[in-house]
Structure 1
Amino acid sequence: MTVLSHTLNHARQLLETTRRFVERSDDPYVISRFGDLQIRVDVAAALFERAETDPSPVAVTEAQIAAAEALIAASNAQFELTGHRTALPSPLDDPLRVKYRIVGNYHLNGVL
């Protein structure tokens, strides 16, 4: 859960850094892009809280996916909107495709 927490915090930091750069923008693209990022980070935070309460393998994996995707999206948006990119840590022990397979197999077939 520590790596997951760091990944989520890194996504939040990138979001805040980007927010400071584009603050008070009236550009519809910037506004919608920032809204998308905020939702991704909020979803990752909610799944992280759920995984802390119910640390089942699937709940933790779902939180890992959401945090990693939020971090990737925040990094990409930082580059798109500011022209800069912060180096990303390697957040997962398995590739995302493996994580998605675990979650899909559980929800589709009931298999862990």
Structure 2
Amino acid sequence: MNALTQPTPLDQARQLLESTLRFVRKSDDPYVISRFGDLLIRIDVAAALLKRAELIQAQGQSTAEIDVAFTEAQIASSEALLAASNAEFELTGQRTALPPSLDDPLRWKYQIVGNYRLNNVVPPRVRSAV
């Protein structure tokens, strides 16, 4: 991410997790510890899916496969951001206002991935930031 671009949902999820961590660091509450484990896994999965999409793109696979791989990464990143935002509120009582990074409904992204993987229907050429 450079200074001219908005942070991606994955970047935002990492930032929210870090700010929440500063608030509850050294907690011995099993719920807090578990919640952080869950969020870390969600963020790591999103990052791995993004790396996978970039690898698929670098390998020059089909446009449809590239688009679906990036859509999968977008879904995971957005879900991680939503989970991090909810955890921030649950654990700190505060909620950071999120920029309009989730303006692309996830329900359509799930449909794109499912239709491609199940029915081999090529997705439309629309991609937003991960």
**TM-score, with structure 1 as normaliser:** 0.91
Matched residue SS, 2:101: coil
Using the aligned pairs only, state the percent identity: 69
1:35-69 C-alpha deviation (Å, 9 max, x unpaired):
00000000011111112222401001000000000
Aligned-residue offset at 1:4 = 9.3
Aligned position for 1:69: 79
Aligned-residue offset at 1:90 = 2.0
Matched residue SS, 1:98: helix
The residue type equivalent to 1:25 in the other structure is S
Q: Which moved more, 1:66-75 or 1:88-97?
A: 88-97
Q: List alignment gaps of at least 5 residues for structure 2.
A: 58-65, 123-130
Aligned position for 2:47: 45
Distance 1:101 1:40, change over 3 A: same
Larger radius of gyration: 2
Q: Which has the higher helix share?
A: 1
Distance 1:30 1:78, change over 3 A: same
- Contact 1:4-1:63 at 8 Å conserved across structures: no
Aligned-residue offset at 1:94 = 2.7
Aligned-residue offset at 1:7 = 1.5
Q: Is 1:22 aligned to 2:24, yes or no?
A: yes
Aligned position for 1:91: 101
Once residues 4 and 108 of structure 1 are traced to their aligned partners in structure 2, the CA distance between those partners, rounded to angstroms, is 33
Distance 1:74 1:19, change over 3 A: same
Distance 1:5 1:50, change over 3 A: farther
Aligned residues: 111
Aligned-residue offset at 1:31 = 0.6
Q: Is 1:31 aligned to 2:33, yes or no?
A: yes
Root mean square deviation of aligned Cα = 1.9
